[in-house]
Amino acid sequence: MNAINESTKAGKTNFVSTITQKLGPLLGLIILIIIVSVLNPSFLEPLNILNLLRQVAINALIAFGMTFVILTGGIDLSVGAILALASALTAGMIVSGLDPIFAIIIGCLLGGVMGIVNGLLITRGKMAPFIATLATMTIFRGLTLVYTKGNPITGLGDNYLFQLFGRGYFLGVPVPAITMIVTFVLLYIVLHKMPFGRKTYAIGGNEKAAIIAGIKVPKVKVMIYALSGLLSALAGAILTSRLNSAQPTAGTSYELDAIAAVVLGGTSLSGGKGRIFGTLIGALIIGTLNNGLNLLGVSSFYQQVVKGIVIIIAVLLDRKKSA
């Protein structure tokens, strides 16, 4: 019965619900910020906000790619593994003497190639995205360990630009935050102002109808998984710079954080509905939680409990509104 009523959306309520739907996650973020800063005013200090933005950047970048994937009704569990493998390969190139910036670019492209593998397994191989990316996650993780022999790759030199990439500031703003914002703007345009975005939504909304409307669904999907891989690798490059090394186990369970950000941002896991702005907010919510709970001195054990509960509450509130 519920399942049927759910689809009940009359024309007029649509407008109102679109508004609350758009503002829902933002409202959640604001409430969270108010709570945290009342409990510990140092949260609002400028340096902390800058730190927060930097901390959020990695998850946000991955989550942007994940947004496209989830909008098509898919999922990408391999993002963390791609991050690790691309980061190891990039570091390897740097150590072997390649120009770091050039290495980062190649690393991102390699991440894109790993994404293409996912995309081909899903479109050509007709595998469920969950299981295809679960398998490639295992494989990429294994390859990372094989490549690094399980050791971190260090000795990345002190190229200034490379260090800036993860740790520096530009006009007073952390560079990773700038990377995040620029990427956001670009992807926002792609998703909401360009045909590619429409196709993404269409595939998630009704794949059969999208095919019949002449959309090259396999091509679009492969491109989207490639995007997800590329962004994971970009996040990996930031991490490599921040950690001044490539860690073989980097990015473990980052897929879950990214998915949580997407869902907190109001995007539906069944595809076709959602917005990338929501994902940005979702990533900020998770970042604020991590940062805020640390500032409040909550033990890491309880932090997990609180994070889980916040996710549930946020999603439940979102449901309520649209019901």
Query: Binding to ligand ATP by residue 4, rule CB under 6 A?
Result: yes
User: How many whole angstroms separate alpha carbon 126 and alpha carbon 248?
Assistant: 30
Interface residues for another protein in 220-239 (CB under 8 A)? 239
User: How many whole angstroms separate alpha carbon 116 and alpha carbon 229?
Assistant: 8
CB neighbour class for 248 (10 Å; exposed up to 12, middle 13-18, buried from 19): buried
DSSP 138-193: HHHHHHHHHHHTTSPB---TT-HHHHHHHH-EETTEEHHHHHHHHHHHHHHHHHHH
CB neighbour class for 41 (10 Å; exposed up to 12, middle 13-18, buried from 19): exposed
* Residue with smaller CB distance to another protein, 113 or 233: 233
Interface residues for another protein in 159-178 (CB under 8 A)? 163-164, 166-170, 172
Q: Rule CB under 6 A: choose which of 2, 8, 96, 299 binds ligand ATP.
A: 8
Query: Binding to another protein by residue 140, rule CB under 8 A?
Result: no
Query: Binding to ligand ATP by residue 7, rule CB under 6 A?
Result: yes
User: How many whole angstroms separate alpha carbon 191 and alpha carbon 65?
Assistant: 11
Interface residues for another protein in 34-53 (CB under 8 A)? 40, 42-43, 45-48, 50-51
Q: How far is the CB of 179 from a copy of itself (least distance, A)?
A: 27
Q: How far is the CB of 3 from another protein (least distance, A)?
A: 10
Query: Binding to another protein by residue 10, rule CB under 8 A?
Result: yes
User: How many whole angstroms separate alpha carbon 155 and alpha carbon 134?
Assistant: 32
Q: How far is the CB of 174 from a copy of itself (least distance, A)?
A: 27
Q: In the structure encoding, which two tokens stand for residue 218, read together? A: 């396999």
Stretch of 3-11, 179-187, 234-242, 274-282 contacting ligand ATP, by CB under 6 A:
3-11
Q: How far is the CB of 268 from ligand ATP (least distance, A)?
A: 17
Interaction site with ligand ATP (CB under 6 A): 4, 7-9
